[in-house]
Chains A and B, each alone.
Chain A
Amino acid sequence: MARQTSEVESVDAPKYAALSRDIEECKREPGTTLDMLHAVQRHFGYLEPQAVGMVAEALGLTKAQLYGVATFYTMFFFEPKPPVIARVCVNLSCHLRGAQEILHTLEEAAKEQHDAFEVEEVMCLGLCEQAPALLVNEEAVGQVSAEEALEKVQASVAGSSS
């Protein structure tokens, strides 16, 4: 057990080092708490507890205080996620243009593929003129049928595993 832990730590060591540099960078300017949390998520894919601890220490907060902040915001994850996340807007403009169909199609496919990607129902993404719209990781995808949306997601899944 102990050996496993140290292996994991050595794999993650460069991530902690990179995070440490980001934290130092952020500390030079005011108002960078969320940026530090974004940095944690960029390196680890979610708010990895030990990394959150590093941010808390840099800010002079307890981990509980920092989690209190982080849990307010929907973009932060508290457990590991698949490499591809599809955020499907379900608000009015997208709803009128077929958002539910996209959501349904992606959710079915995710289930079939044993959660190779994650589907999130999200509030307005500000892509209303391209409705129905979604974000595939950081890429905005709009004016698509459910099938086209799924193709986009599949391509992203294929790209992330190669």
Chain B
Amino acid sequence: MEQICLRRIHNENSQDIESYLAHDGYAALRKALTEMTPEAVHEEVRASNMGGRGGAGFPTAMKWNFLVGARGQPKYVLCNFDESEPGTFSNRIIGEEDPHLLVEGCLLAAYATGCSIIFIYIRGEYFLAYERVKRAIEQAYARGLIGKNILGTDFSVEMHLRRGAGAYICGEETAIMNSLEGKRGYPRARPPFPANEGLFGKPTLINNVETLSNLPDIVRNGGEWWSNLGVNEGAGLNIYCLSGHVERPGAYELPMGTTARELIYEHGGGVWQGRELKAWKPGGASSAILPADMIDLVLDFKPVQAAGTILGTAGVIVMDDRTCVVDAAIRDATFFEEESCGFCFPCRDGTRVLRMLLDRVRHGVATPDTMDLIEHASSDMMDASFCGLGQFAPWPVVSTVRNFRREYESHILERVCPAGVCPMDGVEPNEHVDRRTLQEMLVAQKGGALA
């Protein structure tokens, strides 16, 4: 089966420039710089129909258009390597095992969009990937593949690697710029958009590691070739990260448009220990928790959106029949409560309220209106949160209320956890939450903020 981003990762010393050069490494850069105009590279990306792999699936070529039209110098490429979405690890594998692929991808993006400075922002916890990307950049500089007059052409570019320090929000495209500028990683208002006024106030192209790592093959083989690798109307290949209760967890680079059933059963070897599938998630913590009967869903941006959730980073998490969905939902709720940056109150307070409500369900002290309260708080967060973190944070919780209603009723009305996972001990884990507390917390503050 065709492989792009993961093609070289099992080669000996795959992270070394010699190994990379021996396997078509930097051939696309040479081709682009010596045979193609920046517009021609852009055209191939347009033909590829690629949607950005960072989670939103925004057409890559269109994002590049904004850069080409933007005024101001210098222009920056900012590679978003702040991979922190629970269930997602494809960027880490590329950085650890094939860092030169990423370096080459960054160079091609800079060439096509007229950028002269490249930053790679990698999350602080990726120690090994940091070391390997750092070495790759040094090696590429030493070979004249980064720097002045690359390959004897008049294309010059510098490349810098920067480390984050533990903050999920810095994967958001405006927060990452604040962080790189040495500030707290709060998101910025848009407009101005990064393409016009981004890093240090200059035009900035922000692309994900996997998006950039596909560019060398698109340039070498053509955008149409790449596009045709997809199935079920999908474009190209996509790395699906598979984890949880599955026999063979791992990163699978498959045609975009592969169904969840194929991914989990054919590639992942099925639910572990031969158990039954109970629930699954298509795209990391920010996506819904779906029931087993949605397993034939096509894993591409549009079909998953049509099903009411997001493909996001394609971090697919599998849950077997021993899992309690309340217990699963509270893991995601806790994640978002921890990672909310606190900048806007619907997210800051909403993530806390959702976790508190779920905690009350787990302990068997939830009131009968709990599911309504979850719907209510979720809807406020989706409408009023400042950035994507708070807008998507309620999905794992509210989706379990909708898709597994019977299980909630059992916890709330009968005080029984059907899976036998929750404590159900009658202990009060936190203060009582009702309609009034919600209003005080959300509506009253909304009024206060507007006043």
Contact = CB atoms under 8 A, between A and B. Distances in A.
Interface of A: 29-35, 37-38, 59, 68-69, 72-76, 87, 90-93, 95-97, 122-131, 135, 138-140
Interface string B125-169: 111100000000000000000000000000000001011111110
B200 interface: yes
B390 interface: no
B411 interface: no
Among A31, A95, A135, residue most surrounded by chain B Cβ atoms (within 10 Å): A31
B243 A93 contact: yes
B163 A123 contact: no
A73 B162 CA distance: 15
B164 A73 contact: yes
Contacts of A127: 89, 92
B335 interface: yes
Given A72-B185, A92-B328, A126 B163 contact: no
B348 interface: no
8 contacts: A30-B200, A31-B199, A37-B165, A38-B165, A72-B185, A90-B331, A128-B89, A129-B243
Contacts of B181: 31, 33
B123 A96 contact: no
Contacts of B167: 72-74
B10 interface: no
Contact of B123 (A59, A87, A126, A129): A126
B348 to A, nearest CB: 14
Contact of A123 (B83, B281, B317, B339): B339
Contact of A128 (B125, B183, B315): B315
Contact of A31 (B180, B328, B331, B335): B180
Interface residues of B, number: 55
Contacts of A125: 125
B374 to A, nearest CB: 18
Among B163, B242, B243, B335, residue most surrounded by chain A Cβ atoms (within 10 Å): B243
B294 to A, nearest CB: 18
Interface in B213-233: none
Contacts of A92: 86-87, 244, 281, 285, 317, 328, 331-332, 335
Given A72-B341, A126-B88, 10 more contacts: A32-B182, A38-B163, A74-B167, A75-B125, A93-B86, A96-B319, A122-B125, A124-B84, A128-B241, A128-B315
A100 B128 CA distance: 25
B249 A73 contact: no
Contacts of A33: 181-182
Nearest to B338: A123
B323 interface: yes
A31 B160 CA distance: 9
Nearest to B85: A124
A75 B179 CA distance: 14
Nearest to B342: A72
Contacts of B125: 75, 87, 122, 125-126, 135
Contact of B164 (A34, A87, A128): A34
Given A31-B181, A129-B250, A123 B168 contact: yes
Interface in B189-209: 199-200
B245 interface: yes
A131 B249 contact: yes
Contacts of B162: 31-32, 34-35
Contacts of A30: 160, 200
A138 B127 contact: yes
A127 B119 CA distance: 24
B429 interface: no
B77 to A, nearest CB: 13
A91 B285 contact: yes
Contacts of B405: none
Nearest to B126: A126
